[in-house]
A = this chain, B = another copy of it.
Amino acid sequence: MALRADAVRNRAAILTAASEVFATHGPNATTEQVAQQAGVAVGTVFRHFPTKDDLLVAIMKESLARLAALTNESTLATFFDAVVDEAVRTRMVVIALGDSGLDIGDALQGLTDNVTQLLDQAKAAGEARPTVQVDEVMALLTAAAYAAQQASWTADLRQRTLAVILRGLE
């Protein structure tokens, strides 16, 4: 139990490090790089995440969970913003939302459930037309997340792009 504290701290450090490293260098960044950034040895990374993919999956799920948690206090509009924020911070969400071969189906489903509620609220508020379905909203979120990766993406461009999507949903 005592040692557990260190372990928990390390696990967190590794996840944080992994987020940063993969965000900066993409998913091909080395496990070694992650370890260094986290200030631990490679072995420690592998003890916590037996496979590089496990690590990837973990940070993706974290990202998705973070987003799912936000849906409570969001409208569809602010949620699009949040997704873009997350996508900019960790390049991973986009891979997560997109079609990686990694097993994150459940986390994705969880998010989809929350987005469904958001969509229903938006419909009730007259901000989304009744015919809109969740899957296209998810697709558009993915799309927005992806577009947000561009280096040239300014605050202004971002605002204009999201505006188009939101207007399209009405």
Q: How many monomers of this chain does the complex have?
A: 4
Nearest B residue to A132 via CB reads B164
A150: contacting residue among B28, B139, B152, B169, CB under 8 A:
B139
Check A139–B147 contact: CB distance below 8 A: yes
Give the nearest-CB partner of A133 in chain B: B160
Contact A169 B164 (CB under 8 A): yes
A144 closest partner in B (C-beta): B143
A146 close to B (CB within 8 Å): yes
Name the distance in Å between A94's Cβ and chain B's nearest Cβ.
8
Q: Is A74 an interface residue (CB 8 A)?
A: no
Would B146 and A161 count as touching, CB distance under 8 A?
no
Q: Say whether A149 faces chain B, with CB atoms less than 8 Å apart.
A: yes
